[in-house]
Amino acid sequence: MRKSTSVIRFFEHHRWLLRDPRFRKMATVRIVAARHALAAARVRRHARTARRARAAHRRLLARLERSPVKAICFVFRDHCGEALRVARCESGYRTTAQNGQYLGMFQMGTDERRLFGHGPTALAQAKAAYRYFVRSGRDWSPWSCKPWY
């Protein structure tokens, strides 16, 4: 990449080589090759950056799926404390909690799971509960446990 940049910079300062018929063909070949090499290096660098970002995102999701508290706070953000109190009251943060038809950390019923989703991980259950929370007007009326108890 450094060599390509210096070749391009050289021809920017020596434009007469691109105009002179004796050097035009070779100068054009060199500058075109340098531009292509530079573009390819940028593409490779962008791909490397994207791979690193995807890997970091996968690591974040793995941490969130292992920790119910982190998953709830990640999803509920400003309502983290309230959501933690509701989930602790409803299930003790257990993703496998069950009470009749009610399942998961937020003890969502069959109809709610059908409408808002559900999953085996803390992150999936927190996302489903957040969708239900937003749909209910951002209050805790659907849950029997309230954050102020």
pTM: 0.67
Quick one: which of 68, 75, 135, 72 has its CA closest to 96?
Answer: 68
CB 145 within 8 A of CB 137: no
Residues 6+ apart with CB under 8 A from 124: 117, 118
- Residues in the chain where the model's pLDDT stays below 70: 149
Q: What pLDDT sits at residue 149?
A: 65
Domain boundaries, the chain: 2-64, 67-135
Q: What pLDDT sits at residue 53?
A: 96
Q: What pLDDT sits at residue 142?
A: 94
Please check whether the domain covering 67-135 is classified as CATH 1.10.3430.
no
Q: What pLDDT sits at residue 63?
A: 85
Residues 6+ apart with CB under 8 A from 69: 84, 93
